Amino acid sequence: MADMLDMVLSSFLILSIVFLVYELRKFSTLHAKKYEIPTEKIWEKFVGIRPEDMSESDLTMKVNELEKQLKEIRHELEGQKKFTKKLIEELGK
């Protein structure tokens, strides 16, 4: 009788462990899905654009900034050319 009771308790314990492992895996996948997908939706809702789009707009902003700096350098170069031309004319007199 004791052997039968030990076998029933052992099988119950093994089934409990298997069930616990199953539930933990199920919980981890549900937990991952719960926090993985809505994050992008929340980001898009509150920020207005997706993170992928931000990188493109960031690059666009960098290119625009470089173009602005290039225009300033060209403007300074034109000023230097005019100054050099006046200086040569004055020295030639």
Give me the sign of the Cα torsion angle 16, 18, 19, 24: positive
Q: Which residue has tokens 């030639």?
A: 92
| Residue 67 pLDDT | 94
Same domain, 41 and 2: yes
- Angle (CA) 59-62-68 rounded to 5° is 145
Same domain, 42 and 62: no
Q: How many CA atoms lie less than 13 Å away from 59 in the CB half-sphere?
A: 5
Dump pLDDT digits (tens) for 12-48.
Answer: 999 999 999 999 888 888 776 666 555 666 666 766 6
| Residue 38 pLDDT | 58
CA 61/CA 6 separation, integer angstroms: 73
Q: Cβ distance 80 to 87 under 8 Å? A: no
Same domain, 56 and 88: yes
Same domain, 60 and 22: no
Instruction: State pTM to two decimals.
Output: 0.39
**pLDDT surpasses 80 at 5:** yes
Same domain, 36 and 61: no
Q: How many domains does the chain have?
A: 2
Q: Domain limits at 29?
A: 1-48
Q: Tokens for 35?
A: 């926090």
Same domain, 80 and 44: no
Same domain, 37 and 64: no
